[in-house]
């Protein structure tokens, strides 16, 4: 399957992990899905575009390892309500 087609079909953190053959603990991941995908996305920035399958696998493996060590990305505070541009 081509990479673009594969990516279109992925709809969960577990689907990404399985597609890129990264072993994971489902119980550990249960409440950390969003954090994993945020770290994964950040890790992809290390690689040149277009990304290869190996880039995705490496970025995802690194993200999962970081999460296991307790690392995560802080959420940016919302600035909603501080302007009138979108009201």
Residues 35-53 have pLDDT tens digits of 999 999 999 999 999 999 9
Does the pLDDT at position 67 exceed 60?
yes
> What pLDDT, on the 0 to 100 scale, is given for residue 71?
85
36 with 13: CB under 8 angstroms?
A: yes
Q: How many CA atoms does the CB half-sphere of 45 hold within 13 Å? A: 6
The predicted model gives 4-26 an average pLDDT of 95
């Amino acid at each position: 399957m081509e990479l673009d087609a594969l990516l279109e079909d992925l709809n969960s953190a577990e689907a990404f992990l399985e597609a890129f053959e990264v072993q994971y603990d489902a119980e550990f991941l249960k409440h950390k899905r969003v954090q994993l995908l945020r770290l994964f996305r950040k890790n992809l920035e290390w690689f040149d575009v277009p990304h290869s399958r190996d880039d995705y696998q490496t970025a995802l493996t690194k993200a999962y390892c970081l999460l296991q060590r307790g690392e995560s990305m802080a959420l940016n505070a919302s600035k909603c309500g501080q302007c009138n541009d979108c009201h």
